[in-house]
Amino acid sequence: MNEFELIHRFFSRPPADGTVRLGVGDDAAVVMPTPGHELLLAIDTMAEGRHFFADVPPATLGHKILAVNLSDMAAMGAVPRWALLSGTLPNSDPDWLAAFSEGLFALAKRYDVSLVGGDTVRGPCSFTLTIVGEAPAGEALTRAGAQPDDDLWVSGTLGDAALALAAIQNRITLNPATLAVLRTHLETPEPRVALGLKLRRLAHAALDISDGLMGDLGHILNASDVGAEIELPLLPCHPSLTALLNGAERPLALHCLLSGGDDYELCFTAPPAARDALIALSNELALPLTRIGAITATPGFTVFDEQHHPLPALPAAYDHFPNGTPP
């Protein structure tokens, strides 16, 4: 199977809707944007050894490269529409590619996203996906706009993926049933697209937590020129993480919760007047929404522990180039 046959066999599927005038197979795709809407554009790369292990099931990888990009659309309150995928592959194993594309298209179908273009290169395994979404002009959510006295909210639970990773790497022991549950959050995160769309009219600022709560919340605070106070006991997490938080593994538990990364939950700020609407929304979506603290006029970022003492500094977000030079 050569490059063109490969693309045709695994990545050419009928578009999700009538917006695609020309999909995979020309120099560019041709799509029809919705009048009165702005375009949202994001790109994310996942590379073997950095973002996934060589033995990860390919279907979960296909899911995740799309999910992390859909999560960016969710954070902006956008409807995801069209995707382009570039895959660098060490070979073109048909079984592996079939499973990868199944995982990708299963998620794409649920969100009516059309894969309209791509490229393939031989090399060390990595995937780059570009997502294009839409939102009514002027309505997209951004990281700026958080206001003093806003409530600070997160969706779902935090730290599940980081805890699963710690167990997979034998830094901690979890019972197999717990690991199986947490592992789904690491390998097949669910983008919070429906939540993002509803937040357009409720939230002042939003982003998705990909590099850990502390680092990502820092982006909202910088962009909005405000500070935040967070109550550690309010942070929503799996019971096994709560148990670790109260024992010898507290440092690891704090790391997972505050800076572990790969959560793909939304963090957002909203005025106290929106509380009832957000609780109703949580019920409607069957998705926990938890108030974890508040925005302050004073810049800075404090996490208060169970005794309401400020936590000392914690490791920040994952940084691919922490020192600017190779390790």
Check if the beta carbon of residue 311 is closer than 8 Å to that of residue 303. yes
Which stretch, 133-141, 230-238, 269-277, 283-291, contacts its own copies (CB under 8 A)?
133-141
Does the protein bind its own copies through residue 197 (CB under 8 A)? no
Check if the beta carbon of residue 53 is closer than 8 Å to that of residue 183. no
Instruction: State the DSSP string of 182-196.
Output: HHHHHHS----HHHH
- The residues in 89-118 that bind its own copies, with binding defined as CB under 8 A, are 89-94, 116-118
Minimum distance of its own copies from residue 214's CB (angstroms) = 14
Does the protein bind its own copies through residue 26 (CB under 8 A)? yes
Does the protein bind its own copies through residue 47 (CB under 8 A)? yes
Encoding tokens for residue 165?
């990773």
132/81 Cα distance (integer angstroms):
6
Does the protein bind its own copies through residue 202 (CB under 8 A)? no
Does the protein bind its own copies through residue 184 (CB under 8 A)? no
100/288 Cα distance (integer angstroms):
30
Does the protein bind its own copies through residue 209 (CB under 8 A)? no
By beta-carbon proximity to its own copies, the closer residue of 207 and 232 is 207
Does the protein bind its own copies through residue 9 (CB under 8 A)? no
296/217 Cα distance (integer angstroms):
13
Which stretch, 54-62, 158-166, 275-283, 319-327, contacts its own copies (CB under 8 A)?
319-327
- What phi, psi does 265 have (nearest 5°)? -95, 165
Does the protein bind its own copies through residue 225 (CB under 8 A)? no
Q: Which member of 17, 119, 284, 306 binds its own copies (CB under 8 A)?
A: 119
* Other beta carbons within 10 Å of 279: 12
Does the protein bind its own copies through residue 66 (CB under 8 A)? no
Check if the beta carbon of residue 84 is closer than 8 Å to that of residue 117. yes
